[in-house]
């Protein structure tokens, strides 16, 4: 990080990462950017896919509330976060390589972290936003929705 620039520190099993203040992604997204970027095409450039991913996350949160997998408070926070991101159409924090390898894991992680950050500090990207989902199911469902709409 440049000296004088505000940042926050997030940790994972590999150590600490500084994330510029105001960015809504987390440490796992940074790891993906560092290790899986090669095409120069960012997920942010794939608006229809991002929108579909947010809709999948919203639908999963709604079902997870119905089945008591998520508390009403966390589920509603995720729904509101997805709606806010859909309404704002600001996809600048979807920064992973759109064509990274790994079966969509980095994409799913990036979306989960942004939604969790917008939802609030009590919402976990992995435990709450991603509850009852596999990366393959979430990403492929979103891809089908986006392709259908295109």
Per DSSP, the residues of 65-106 read HHTTSS-HHHHHHHHHHHHHHHHH---TT--SBTT-SSTTHH
pLDDT at residue 121 greater than cutoff 90 = no
d(CA 39, CA 62): 35
Q: Look up tokens 């919203």; give the residue.
A: 58
Q: Identify the band that residue 1 occupies on the pLDDT scale cut at 50, 70 and 90.
A: very low
Statement: 7-149 belongs to CATH 3.40.50.970: no
Identify the band that residue 20 occupies on the pLDDT scale cut at 50, 70 and 90. very high
Angle at 39 between CA 47 and CA 88, to 5 degrees: 20
User: For residue 37, what are the CA distances in angstroms to 19, 61, 102, 107?
Assistant: 17, 29, 12, 12
Instruction: Map out the domains of the chain as residue ranges.
Output: 7-149
Predicted local distance difference test score (pLDDT) of residue 3? 59
* pLDDT bracket for residue 122 (50, 70, 90): very high
What pLDDT was estimated at residue 9? 94
Q: If DSSP codes are grouped into helix, strand and coil, which group holds residue 41?
A: coil
pLDDT digits (tens, 9 = 90+) for 125-143: 999 999 999 999 999 999 9
pLDDT, tens digit, 9 for 90 and up, residues 25-76: 999 999 999 998 889 999 999 999 999 999 999 999 999 999 999 999 999 9
* Helix residue ranges, H only, the chain: 27-36, 47-66, 72-88, 105-119, 135-149
């Amino acid at each position: 990080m440049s000296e004088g620039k505000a940042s926050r520190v997030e940790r994972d099993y590999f150590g600490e990462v500084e994330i510029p203040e105001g960015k809504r992604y987390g440490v796992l997204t940074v790891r993906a950017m560092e290790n899986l970027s090669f095409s120069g095409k960012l997920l942010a450039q794939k608006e229809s896919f991002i929108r579909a991913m947010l809709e999948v996350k919203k639908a999963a949160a709604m079902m997870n509330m119905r089945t008591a997998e998520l508390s009403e408070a966390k589920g509603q926070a995720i729904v509101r976060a997805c709606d806010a991101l859909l309404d704002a159409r600001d996809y600048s924090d979807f920064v992973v390589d759109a064509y990274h390898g790994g079966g969509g894991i980095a994409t799913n992680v990036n979306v989960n972290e942004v939604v969790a950050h917008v939802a609030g500090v009590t919402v976990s990207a992995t435990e709450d936003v991603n509850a009852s989902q596999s990366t393959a199911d979430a990403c492929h469902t979103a891809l089908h929705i986006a392709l259908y709409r295109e």
